Structure 1
């Protein structure tokens, strides 16, 4: 067989099935679209489920894909073996009620033997033990030697998950040779050794299972095949594992160059090289598909992979951040099949670099504390309390703690850790809850059975003589609500916009025969029933009454201005920052517009100015804003931006700002940009790793923002005693200079005070085995003063150990600083160990270097006791 690169294999496969009238589809994103059962796409079939179930009509009855996949159940084994990985690509060809076994088997054999030219005598086929039809097809139609076909049981060759579509499968194996076998006389297909490698699975979905052992033939059977691209490359390239496949090996070689080592020289280093190589492949593709680091869900998977890779970089001796550098090779190796990685290169690299850098700031502290905890263990189990402290204080993942402990043949009390995590979540949940929220949830649940409400608010903000179809009050259905009662009203149709898509719900009034109902908010159920929250201001409302529904026009118009501004902002950000910018959330109200977007660094003043100018230019140009409903495929042809991960129907609403932006959106908008008046950014900041937030105002909100700024400037000028706002810069600079001089004077006085204290303490120092020992406490002394004192002692040059404490009575805490001179260290003194033992007595902890260290205590009443114990602690160390 001919050696073939992984990228060429992918193209050969997809081109082959295109020649068999299959529609080639791009890989679906790793983030499942409209499927909450999966965190990440883990097979080629996963994104096809909607086609197999009939929920969505497939774009063609024959489809072929190369699907990006992430699987994490074996993450702890990645690196420890050469066969486990988290990222892989799955080749597949699918038939949705079109061809079946005959074609699937014939084409699989043709591809293997004619296209990539695998030796026929080394290919083996397994079939389900009762599938005589498959046996006949393979032997009589395809021409496979019957001696190379193996019948296996239901566990191996029958695809079934509970109830629903299922069927037998047939797998193709490659015989790698006797040298990979186990030597057993029964060694063959199905053996656990490395000789026979399964590389392609053909699933014949032909039955409907009731879960009770009864199988009904399907009217339209389907074909679902899956072949691991990396596994196929291993076979064709004649290598033992995925890390030796050409594209993966190139990534590993990049890591090796950075670390200055070679793969294969040291088993321990090889583990780290494999971990980094696999995890950087996974994370590059995950970030490219919109996954952001977080502490839950798929974001946590990303963070965990990055942190695991970063730690193994440190184990290889790599100093500082390096993962973003390796991203270049990952992107280079995959640029042809996944050009979006090239487009998003800067964003991917910046996100990974920032995440690694952030982890680097905490990992040293966490590792240091973990090492102290391990040293103090009586047995081999770390307490759940300590594992939780590492997580809660240093962001140290429990998985990393467990991995480090495992390397030392130790463990952690996971049950206790998870219980503490549960308690923390309960506290957070309780803090978020309110009685209003509980009542709201009950009412919404009650309304879920109602049908969708027709929305007329795009055309008009008023509707007359519309019937009240249902009411809820006090969490129960109501026929009548009277003056002063809070209630929820449902109408047969409504001009009120229900909160969705980041746009807040409308407010307004409903009036009828002798009553007024004030609407304070509008929401809708999952089924689309719109419900109006509010209060009966006067009179009495009954189910069946006719009302005049009037939206608060002034408020709605302000909301519309801000929503259109959000569309202008996204387009401007993509123009100024790059096309990696995507919406990550928004809130549009009458007061302001809040827009979250993917970007990894703070916007510079110049970037903010450019964004504002772009938008205000569009406003002043008075561009038309049009809306239209159309099939989603037509909207995509127009280049309409969609919210990542959002599920859209076949017909979508498109908002088009002429020659500026086209987006899928169900919200309300102005019909011309000039109606925004002006646009002003009032804040920009970070809300999560890789996600920035801009808050902005339009129209009257801009004038109010200017008035607020002028008020602040006037008050600041008065405080600075400036002659006016124009004189503020000079006075501010002068005040800053005065403060700087005072800081220098305070520092000089602190140093003088430290010298005075130091001289007195040195004269009265105790002596232990020829070492001077000083222990003293000072009320109100801050960390800087303690460090100055330690510097004073160290400069003395004598054999000395000193611990000084600064008591903060207002906080009820104490800080300890310890210093050991060079001669004292030579005799066994260690500042980190000494200060830790002293702090323990005061209910604290800490540690550090042998020459100087810091610690904290929580019980100021024990400070004297802690310092009195100092001589004994030092004596114990020197005796060792």
Structure 2
């Protein structure tokens, strides 16, 4: 066995299968393309599903990839085991109806023993008991003895109905010293001795709804070999984390915290951080940004977990972005997109880490209140812990640790139940979306005979589909998919909605509600039959909604101009993070890390309108991806492109890769108006804007509103800003005077409040009602009373409408006597039909029964007596 780096293993794998006539495909983005059933790509075969199911013709019937993958199902095991990761690379070779078991087995063995030079005597395999064909190949062709071929019932791959089949796994014997020591230890044992390094899935059956297995006409091969696992074997490391794919990151973490890898706790923490920063870097590079839902939430969770483990190592400041250079130095050769987005990756990480610092402070305060409210129960509600985790992003491990320091446990069962309910909801939502994927099998169509022509007014129906299956005819009321031999409809893509229109045949009519495109470029329509019947082969008249199409084109070209203007005004760090182009307006999400000022927005708007007024031709060209890059074409953040791309240019102002529809010249846009600018998540801003008739209508509405405002202010339109400033200044003075009057009124009660002072157990206690209309006012009054008294306990309550509010303060010195503001206020609030808690020195709460305010104050004093014993 010769030593190889992780990069050398990856390259050797891809080149080996290239020599076996496989097409090397670059890793697909982690965001699934045209597959809403998946949140993230978690397996090498996942992006290739349309080719396995036969719905699309593959670019080659033999393909090989090194696929970036993210899995978080076992995130709690990351760092605690040798093999669990959130990010990993899956090497795969795939056959779509071409070669089968003989070649797959032969080539796997050849690569492992000849290219990687693994000792054949240390390799073992597993097969499905009924798979006599695989057994014969392993036993007769490869020459493995029976004692090295294991038959297991679970060597069968299936996920419900659809393609499935037996699989065969290859294991490497790491040596007796890595085993459990039991005489029965062999392949299949739970110990670490026998490591699975390769899985070959033989897709040869189709499972029907009634559970029957019928042979597939075209059998497929799906294999997977974990790069990190292979590296651990070849580099003779105890775990994947010690390989050159990960350990350099661990070394950087150890330098930051001056840690000791031999320490078990530090070892786990450094492994978690190293694993997570790999996932974070690759996810951001692929267009995923932190948010509170979906894949953005996965990123946020991983990032915050890494920060949490950094705090356990004693790292207090921002540190994660400093590890990005090391990650890119390891992965950048295989994934050059990491270099392209390096600055953005670091900026997003820094911004999110800063925000999480504030979340930690807020979370700890809320947790303190939960602990105080738990009282003698000595256990936190799992539902409350989950809310802290789910709503505020507060790590459950941190909750458990802080509570444990105070002798309090958390209800793990209740927490896991709440977590499972959330996961079930997410899975159900994805399943609902998945059910909407209605494309039929298109491999029987000659795609070379299907063309796109925006000028077409007649076409022949090449295929009809319903619920994912091909049909020959469709009747009134049915919603179907339609593929035309000549298609004038522009499909949904790049944020732009698909075209709509009407199809008319000799026997029926259909309303086209959307147009979509398959990964191979084939356009299909979603339509509802409104009259009669339409058959495959019918010649149809076509009426695309041209007015809607033009409105879409205006807004799409304006989106390109907007991005270019933003980069000129804000800087080249601006990248598209999402967009929506509708006939009515455009929405553009972009990477930027502070609100865009009014002056900046005006400048952007002026730049766009200046290009519109120049009446510049919009040019559309097709070229190679390399030519497009040389031309300076901007790519959509996180998108995957083929070898030939479509480049849309507006002179030297804008140049982007885009498949959307556009105007012929910029003057057709008419005018451009920005409606709003807001933040949508960490480092992402959103602009909404209008063009054409919608922009004109907006201008008219704005002018009318300004006229009405001038009339109300009894001034001229041009004098409105000055008049508003005068009114606002007067209002500010009036509000200031009112607040002073309220403060004076509340302080006038000071003598009455101080008169209620009692001495309980040697501690001065003031428990009184007060006249104030806000919690801020009540807190200020409590501070003032504490200053007068000079210590002890201050408990104030005020009735506002149908509610009552409380504030309790305890002098720091008196908290050492056992007094606790959170416990005192809880007793008071409960007496008034409410609840609450807080810190030992300060707490606030509410109640629902203002009539019980006197009883509540007495309950607070009683709590003071009990705490003092």
Q: What's the TM-score bracket when you normalise by the shorter of the two chains?
A: 0.7 to 0.9
User: 3-state DSSP class of the match of 1:528?
Assistant: strand
Equivalent residue, structure 2, for 1:193 = 191
Distance 1:399 1:298 in 2: 22
Q: By how many angstroms is 1:410 displaced?
A: 3.5
User: 3-state DSSP class of the match of 1:818?
Assistant: strand
- Kindly indicate whether the alpha-carbon contact (under 8 Å) linking 2:709 and 2:720 is maintained by their aligned counterparts in 1: no
Matched residues, number: 813
Residues 102-113 of structure 1 mapped to structure 2, 5 A cutoff: 104=104, 107-113=107-113
- Kindly indicate whether the alpha-carbon contact (under 8 Å) linking 2:382 and 2:415 is maintained by their aligned counterparts in 1: yes
Distance 2:691 2:109 in 1: 64
Distance 2:733 2:108 in 1: 81
- Kindly indicate whether the alpha-carbon contact (under 8 Å) linking 1:797 and 1:821 is maintained by their aligned counterparts in 2: no
Structure 1 residues 59 and 766: CA distance shift in structure 2, 3 A:
same
User: 3-state DSSP class of the match of 1:562?
Assistant: helix
TM-score (normalised: structure 1): 0.76
Residues 204-243 of structure 1 mapped to structure 2, 5 A cutoff: 205=202, 207-208=204-205, 222-243=220-241
Q: By how many angstroms is 1:136 displaced?
A: 2.4
Among 798, 805, 810, the alignment partner of 1:806 is 798
In the alignment, does 2:832 pair up with 1:842?
yes
Equivalent residue, structure 2, for 1:339 = 336
- Kindly indicate whether the alpha-carbon contact (under 8 Å) linking 1:168 and 1:203 is maintained by their aligned counterparts in 2: yes
Unaligned runs of 5+ in 1: 140-145, 430-440, 446-453, 464-475, 480-487, 512-516, 534-540
Distance 1:418 1:174 in 2: 38
Equivalent residue, structure 2, for 1:39 = 39
Per-residue CA shift, 1:262-293, capped at 9, x if unaligned? 3332x344433333332232232222222344
Unaligned runs of 5+ in 2: 430-434, 439-449, 459-473, 517-523, 535-539
Equivalent residue, structure 1, for 2:582 = 588
Structure 1 residues 629 and 400: CA distance shift in structure 2, 3 A:
farther
Structure 1 residues 62 and 505: CA distance shift in structure 2, 3 A:
closer
Structure 1 residues 532 and 762: CA distance shift in structure 2, 3 A:
farther
Structure 1 residues 106 and 51: CA distance shift in structure 2, 3 A:
same
In the alignment, does 2:414 pair up with 1:413?
yes
Distance 1:88 1:423 in 2: 25
Residues 296-311 of structure 1 mapped to structure 2, 5 A cutoff: 296-311=293-308
User: 3-state DSSP class of the match of 2:246?
Assistant: helix
Distance 2:783 2:403 in 1: 37
- Kindly indicate whether the alpha-carbon contact (under 8 Å) linking 1:722 and 1:728 is maintained by their aligned counterparts in 2: no
Per-residue CA shift, 1:26-50, capped at 9, x if unaligned? 1111222233443222222222333
Equivalent residue, structure 2, for 1:330 = 327
Equivalent residue, structure 2, for 1:285 = 282
User: 3-state DSSP class of the match of 2:288?
Assistant: coil
In the alignment, does 2:618 pair up with 1:602?
no
Equivalent residue, structure 1, for 2:537 = none
Residues 41-56 of structure 1 mapped to structure 2, 5 A cutoff: 41-56=41-56
Equivalent residue, structure 2, for 1:681 = 674
Structure 1 residues 637 and 377: CA distance shift in structure 2, 3 A:
farther
With 788-797 and 336-345 compared, the bigger mean Cα shift is at 788-797
Residues 464-503 of structure 1 mapped to structure 2, 5 A cutoff: none
With 238-247 and 373-382 compared, the bigger mean Cα shift is at 373-382
Distance 1:764 1:170 in 2: 80
User: 3-state DSSP class of the match of 1:66?
Assistant: strand
- Kindly indicate whether the alpha-carbon contact (under 8 Å) linking 1:832 and 1:852 is maintained by their aligned counterparts in 2: yes
Among 690, 693, 698, the alignment partner of 1:697 is 690
- Kindly indicate whether the alpha-carbon contact (under 8 Å) linking 1:640 and 1:664 is maintained by their aligned counterparts in 2: no
- Kindly indicate whether the alpha-carbon contact (under 8 Å) linking 2:72 and 2:86 is maintained by their aligned counterparts in 1: yes
Equivalent residue, structure 2, for 1:153 = 151
User: 3-state DSSP class of the match of 1:254?
Assistant: helix
RMSD after superposition: 5.3
In the alignment, does 2:127 pair up with 1:134?
no
- Kindly indicate whether the alpha-carbon contact (under 8 Å) linking 1:388 and 1:421 is maintained by their aligned counterparts in 2: no
With 230-239 and 406-415 compared, the bigger mean Cα shift is at 406-415
Per-residue CA shift, 1:700-736, capped at 9, x if unaligned? 444444454455556666777877636835x666666
- Kindly indicate whether the alpha-carbon contact (under 8 Å) linking 1:499 and 1:523 is maintained by their aligned counterparts in 2: no
User: 3-state DSSP class of the match of 2:241?
Assistant: helix
Distance 2:187 2:545 in 1: 73
Structure 1 residues 421 and 148: CA distance shift in structure 2, 3 A:
closer
Structure 1 residues 860 and 458: CA distance shift in structure 2, 3 A:
farther
User: 3-state DSSP class of the match of 2:845?
Assistant: strand
Structure 1 residues 103 and 610: CA distance shift in structure 2, 3 A:
farther
- Kindly indicate whether the alpha-carbon contact (under 8 Å) linking 2:379 and 2:411 is maintained by their aligned counterparts in 1: yes
Equivalent residue, structure 1, for 2:749 = 757
- Kindly indicate whether the alpha-carbon contact (under 8 Å) linking 1:653 and 1:666 is maintained by their aligned counterparts in 2: no
- Kindly indicate whether the alpha-carbon contact (under 8 Å) linking 1:383 and 1:412 is maintained by their aligned counterparts in 2: no
Distance 2:707 2:622 in 1: 50
Residues 307-386 of structure 1 mapped to structure 2, 5 A cutoff: 307-319=304-316, 321-374=318-371, 376=374, 383=381, 386=384
- Kindly indicate whether the alpha-carbon contact (under 8 Å) linking 2:502 and 2:512 is maintained by their aligned counterparts in 1: no
In the alignment, does 2:858 pair up with 1:868?
yes
With 746-755 and 82-91 compared, the bigger mean Cα shift is at 746-755
Equivalent residue, structure 2, for 1:728 = 721
Distance 1:507 1:247 in 2: 50
Distance 1:318 1:550 in 2: 64
- Kindly indicate whether the alpha-carbon contact (under 8 Å) linking 2:104 and 2:200 is maintained by their aligned counterparts in 1: no
- Kindly indicate whether the alpha-carbon contact (under 8 Å) linking 2:381 and 2:410 is maintained by their aligned counterparts in 1: no
- Kindly indicate whether the alpha-carbon contact (under 8 Å) linking 2:287 and 2:577 is maintained by their aligned counterparts in 1: no
Q: By how many angstroms is 1:595 displaced?
A: 3.1
Equivalent residue, structure 1, for 2:462 = none
Equivalent residue, structure 2, for 1:250 = 248
Q: By how many angstroms is 1:874 displaced?
A: 0.9
Distance 1:87 1:791 in 2: 52
Distance 1:701 1:771 in 2: 70
- Kindly indicate whether the alpha-carbon contact (under 8 Å) linking 2:475 and 2:529 is maintained by their aligned counterparts in 1: no
In the alignment, does 2:864 pair up with 1:878?
no
Distance 2:387 2:40 in 1: 30
TM-score (normalised: structure 2): 0.77
- Kindly indicate whether the alpha-carbon contact (under 8 Å) linking 2:206 and 2:213 is maintained by their aligned counterparts in 1: yes
Distance 2:501 2:215 in 1: 57
Structure 1 residues 866 and 44: CA distance shift in structure 2, 3 A:
same
Per-residue CA shift, 1:149-194, capped at 9, x if unaligned? 711113365555566353452514142x332222233434433322
